[in-house]
Amino acid sequence: MEAPTKRQRVPALSPEERRAALIEATIPLLKEHGLNVSTRQIADAAGVAEGTIFGVFPDKASLIKAAVVAAFDPTATIRKLRSIDPDLGLREKMIAEAEILRDHLASYGALAHVMRTHGLAEAGTDVRVDLMASRFLLLHELAALIEPDSAQLRRNPATAARLLLALTAAPRHGMGDFDDSLDNAEAVVSVILDGLLKRPSSIIDTGDSPC
């Protein structure tokens, strides 16, 4: 009779790997339950004992803060922005930027709503600083792509970038009483580059037209 095969032990995760797994499990729970999510809920979602959390995080607040910062991390979005062809016309580049922003904002839209309704102050000053730094990096990349065409604009690229981010975010995150007319990249860019005044039908909107 053959001896039973011993079950192989699953290699233990390193502290950094465990930390990343707990953060990943926490983000969707924050979207659902807000900042009041329990460590029991997090442990169940991560498939670990509740005490495991405190082996890599000193307390629940530290895990929540790390998850919030990770959820808003712009690294992947910045990588996509840098893949936009710099030789495109201004309008085409900004539309591509807006499309990427829409995907970025959709990925954490529910969490952004939670942070506003529960109060960002509860997350701590250091988290607010990190979130502002993430926003700064995102705006810097948007402006850098617009910069070569700055001569076409009446405002500087930094202002154009802020408008692009604000108008793309507002309808999706309920910030402002917007209808669905701004719920596409072309419309957002048109408002920025063309304004709200109707133009004569003889004027053709192109990426190279002065604004």
DSSP string across 151-188:
GG-SS-HHHHHHHHHHHHHHHHHT-S---GGGSSHHHH
**Do 64 and 79 sit in the same domain of this protein?**
no
3-class secondary structure, 3: coil
Please, what is the end-to-end C-alpha distance for the chain in angstroms?
A: 85
Report how far residue 165's alpha carbon sits from residue 152's, in angstroms, rounded to the nearest whole number.
19
Token digits for 124? 């701590």
pLDDT score at 93: 98
Residues 6+ apart with CB under 8 A from 108: 31, 71, 72
Residues 6+ apart with CB under 8 A from 210: 152
**Do 84 and 161 sit in the same domain of this protein?**
yes
**Do 176 and 80 sit in the same domain of this protein?**
yes
CB atoms within 10 A of CB 129: 11
pLDDT score at 23: 94
Task: Establish if 7 belongs to a structural domain.
Answer: no
Percentage of the chain with pLDDT > 90? 49
Task: Establish if 76 belongs to a structural domain.
Answer: yes
**Do 120 and 151 sit in the same domain of this protein?**
yes
Of the ranges 34-38, 181-185, 193-197, the best mean pLDDT one: 193-197
Q: What is the pTM of this model?
A: 0.75
**Do 49 and 147 sit in the same domain of this protein?**
no
pLDDT score at 209: 47
Domain of 125, in residue numbers? 72-194
Q: Total structural domains in the chain?
A: 2
Q: pLDDT tens digit string along 101-136?
A: 998 888 776 676 666 655 554 555 677 788 889 899
165 in Cβ contact with 138 (< 8 Å): yes
Token digits for 36? 């009041």
Running DSSP on this structure, what letter comes out for residue 35? G
The yes-or-no verdict on residue 63 having pLDDT over 70 is: yes
Q: pLDDT tens digit string along 85-97?
A: 999 999 999 999 9
Report how far residue 136's alpha carbon sits from residue 39's, in angstroms, rounded to the nearest whole number.
32
**Do 99 and 165 sit in the same domain of this protein?**
yes
**What average pLDDT does the structure give for the chain?**
82
Q: pLDDT tens digit string along 3-51?
A: 544 434 435 778 889 999 999 999 999 888 887 889 999 999 999 999 9
97 in Cβ contact with 145 (< 8 Å): yes
**Do 186 and 133 sit in the same domain of this protein?**
yes
